[in-house]
Structure 1
Amino acid sequence: MKKILLLGGSNQQIPVIECAKKQGYYTVLCDHLIDNPGQHYADKFYCVSTTDKEAILEVAQKEKVGGIVAYASDPAAPTAAYVSEKLGLPTSPYKSVELLTNKDKFRAFLAENNFCTPKAKGFSSIEEAKKDISSFTLPVIIKPVDSSGSKGVSKLADINNLDKQIKYALSYSRSKRFIIEEFVDKFGYQVAGDGFSLNGQLVFRCFGNDHFNNNGLNPFVPISASFPYNMPQKIHEKIHLEIQRLLNLLNMKTGAYNFDIRIDKDENVYLMEIGPRNGGNYIPQVTKYATSVDMVEYAIKAAMAEDCSDIKMVDPKGYWSYYAIHSYKAGILKDIRINEDVKKNNIVESHLNYEIGDNIPVFRGANQTMGILIMKFTSMEDMIEKMDNSNLWINVVVE
């Protein structure tokens, strides 16, 4: 039986373990958390950090795996590429994957290759940043160069808060580096979604609308993505061409991607983040409902050098979203109250990470999501309205 190495065993990563087993693979899982839920689904588990490249290489060699997947995990993506490259397994170039998951390197690459990108620079210390901050136009975004899920991200409008916001970003950076970049005003919704390249060609993509909670502690972490993207087809095609240009320059191969993209009022495309892995928050499951294309299955096939040539571009049918259940404050979860009509007519799947009576965290990043709802709607208008105004149909009660 062929073996596949899966990096990460959170609740959201269980689908890739289940899918790999369904495809007949022996599943080897690595995660640094000894109590991760994925270990109960995998055939074998190693308590090893997915960012420890040499330790993962050792596991891969010992188990003689045929492929590696960093599903829904930016931090693990470079590890998967590094180990795969060392062992001659299918992967895009390690240097390209590393660049895509390192925000200051990515911004510099975009600027060098004439993509639309905000002015940005990476720093290792507060002192360095203080010397350069006057060259930026406020407001700016400060964020770790190597975190995901919008952890450690903040918007600086008052220079007096520079120290505090840099320290916040550094607290989420493994490399203890942060990036300062000028703020990009978006036209319409920020573009969410996933895609897949076959031998470097973007053969599938499904764009959606990112929704944010502007009243939350971190207004930069999405609380929902709704599909399809509500812009004209010419905008979809323009975004597609810019992604393809990036994939060509980086010599990307076969695999999945997660997108965060902005369009400005002049319809310029800003590739904010192109993650070399499937999206989190059950985005692959949502896009499967919309297109019938199983991105989890194709991510596994790509890693195991299986034929992926049958994947085709499919236009979404219907209106679908995920919604991240979240709390404005930490405490004891007393109840999650959802409007009965929404329960009956809109919720397709519910994936909860907590039970009534559990201690829950305040929502500052994707890792503090209480759970995910997959939802369907009868119209674009209904979907957008509910995702923009979730306070009207869901209430998380915390004491």
Structure 2
Amino acid sequence: MKNIMILGANTLQIPLIQEAQRIGFNTVVVSPNKEEPGFKYATYPIYADVKDQELLLKYAREYDIAGVITDQTDIPVRTAAYIAENMGLPGIGYETATLFTDKFLMREKCKELNIPTLKYKLVKNIEEAIEFFDALEGDAILKPVDNQGSKGVSKINSKEVLIEKFQEAMDYSKSQSVLIEQYVTGREFVVEGLTYDYEFQNLICGDTHYFNIPDVFSATTRIFPSTADKDLVERVKDLNRKIVTGFGLKQGISHSEFIMDGDEIYLIETAARGGGVFISSDLISLSTGLNTEKFLIEMATGTLKEVPEIKDTGKVCCYMAFFLPVGEVVSIEGVHKVKELSYTHRDNLDTIYMGLKTKPFVDKTARKFIIVSGDSHDELIENMKAIKDALQIKVKTDQGIEGPIWN
């Protein structure tokens, strides 16, 4: 059996690891966290930093891998490209991987492609940040250029808040530089795409709905397909095509997020991997019939013979997510019932247990989530309501007993 290296071992990488083994590969699974659940399915577990490119290249050669891959996470994308490039394996190229994982470079490339961008500036110190914020004469958003999970992202509505939040953003930035950008509010879209040998096609376009929690830039639901009118959806898809092809992606699944300001559509970010929270593994499949993991594995190992057929299944689907209040879980009801419903699919509810000490939800990684489907948007909303009614979790907090935070 040949070996394939998979970078990442958390819940979201499990579908990829399992599919690789089903196809017939030994899995060399890499993560620094020995407790991550993906290691239960690994043939060869490697406990190492997924950003350590030289070390993982050494392991890749040692295990004589036939391919290297990651999905649903940004952090290992450059490492996967570096290993593939140095071993002559199929990949997207290190330069392209860097472009897709640096928010500043994304905006610079958009300008090069004559794609409108929000006002932005890359800054390395608080003085530069204050100067740009003053020039904006409005709210801004501060974010590390090369991190994920919304860590270190803050809305800035005053100079005092900027000074307070600046160092936190810097702490999450590996390059020690942060992006400060014009803040707008408007309809948001998410688009998944597929590329093989530079030939691109949009897969699904959906709507993003956020939690109403200050400085928590996390979606409570992402619903596919979008309810926007056909012409607007086509505009979003056309922009996504222009960006992904213009960025030079050779192969793989892409995940892009957009926001509207008035009638203009702007890129928030794009990624050379599938969307997290099982968008890649489940929501694409439910919507199009594509086995995303099989496609990614065959592409990474050079065994893909032709692009899989993409079809519209007619399904409406989403992930629905919630946070738990800060405290201790004292009661759990309805998890088994929710898992047994005909319209629920994958979830991470098994990470909730009696006595769990919940922490402040400073980023997306604290979310609990469920993949849900229906035959129409109305049916999906009904199914989501039934799940909320069935899932009763109680957390003892300083303010008393509280339940899940859904919005």
- Fold match (TM-score > 0.5): yes
Structure 1: tracts of 5 or more residues without a match: none
Shift of residue 92 of structure 1?
1.4
Give the TM-score taking structure 2 as reference length: 0.89
> Does 2:287 match 1:277?
no
Please list, as runs of the form range in 1=range in 2, the aligned pairs for 1:55-66 lying within 5 A after superposition: 55-66=55-66
Shift of residue 228 of structure 1?
0.9
Structure 2: tracts of 5 or more residues without a match: 397-407
Q: 2:366 aligns with which of 364, 368, 375?
A: 368
Contact 1:282 1:372 in 2 (8 A): no
Map of 1:247 onto structure 2: 244
Q: 2:231 is matched by which residue type in structure 1?
A: K
Please list, as runs of the form range in 1=range in 2, the aligned pairs for 1:1-40 lying within 5 A after superposition: 1-40=1-40
Query: Which one is further off, 354-363 or 150-159?
Result: 354-363
Query: Which one is further off, 88-97 or 240-249?
Result: 240-249
**Structure 1 CA distance for aligned equivalents of residues 185 and 13 of structure 2:** 33
Q: 2:100 is matched by which residue type in structure 1?
A: L
Q: 2:220 aligns with which of 211, 220, 223?
A: 223
Contact 1:203 1:313 in 2 (8 A): no
Shift of residue 249 of structure 1?
2.5
**Deviations for 1:288-347, whole angstroms, at most 9, x for unmatched residues?**
1222111122111211112252323422412211122312x3221123556989985653
Map of 1:322 onto structure 2: 319
Q: 2:182 is matched by which residue type in structure 1?
A: E
Shift of residue 138 of structure 1?
1.6
**Deviations for 1:98-147, whole angstroms, at most 9, x for unmatched residues?**
11111111112212321121111112222331233222232111111111
Please list, as runs of the form range in 1=range in 2, the aligned pairs for 1:1-399 lying within 5 A after superposition: 1-187=1-187, 190-214=188-212, 216-266=213-263, 268-284=264-280, 285-307=282-304, 309-327=306-324, 329-336=325-332, 344=341, 346-352=343-349, 353-369=351-367, 371-383=368-380, 396-399=393-396
Shift of residue 393 of structure 1?
6.9
**Structure 1 CA distance for aligned equivalents of residues 159 and 219 of structure 2:** 26
Change (3 A) 1:248 1:291: closer
Contact 1:197 1:256 in 2 (8 A): yes
**Deviations for 1:362-396, whole angstroms, at most 9, x for unmatched residues?**
32212112x32111234314545876999777554
Q: 1:15 is matched by which residue type in structure 2?
A: P
Change (3 A) 1:391 1:38: closer
Q: 2:269 is matched by which residue type in structure 1?
A: E
Change (3 A) 1:121 1:385: farther
**Structure 1 CA distance for aligned equivalents of residues 231 and 151 of structure 2:** 33
Query: Which one is further off, 338-347 or 291-300?
Result: 338-347
**Structure 1 CA distance for aligned equivalents of residues 92 and 300 of structure 2:** 10
Q: 2:287 is matched by which residue type in structure 1?
A: A
Q: 2:290 is matched by which residue type in structure 1?
A: V
**Structure 2 CA distance for aligned equivalents of residues 365 and 260 of structure 1:** 17
SS at match of 2:303: coil
SS at match of 2:331: strand
Contact 2:3 2:66 in 1 (8 A): yes
SS at match of 2:348: strand
Contact 1:351 1:373 in 2 (8 A): yes
Q: 1:207 is matched by which residue type in structure 2?
A: C
Change (3 A) 1:336 1:321: farther
**Structure 1 CA distance for aligned equivalents of residues 236 and 303 of structure 2:** 28
Among the aligned pairs, what percent are the same residue? 26
Give the aligned CA root-mean-square deviation in angstroms: 2.5
Q: 2:237 is matched by which residue type in structure 1?
A: H
**Structure 2 CA distance for aligned equivalents of residues 264 and 57 of structure 1:** 43
Q: Number of paired residues?
A: 393
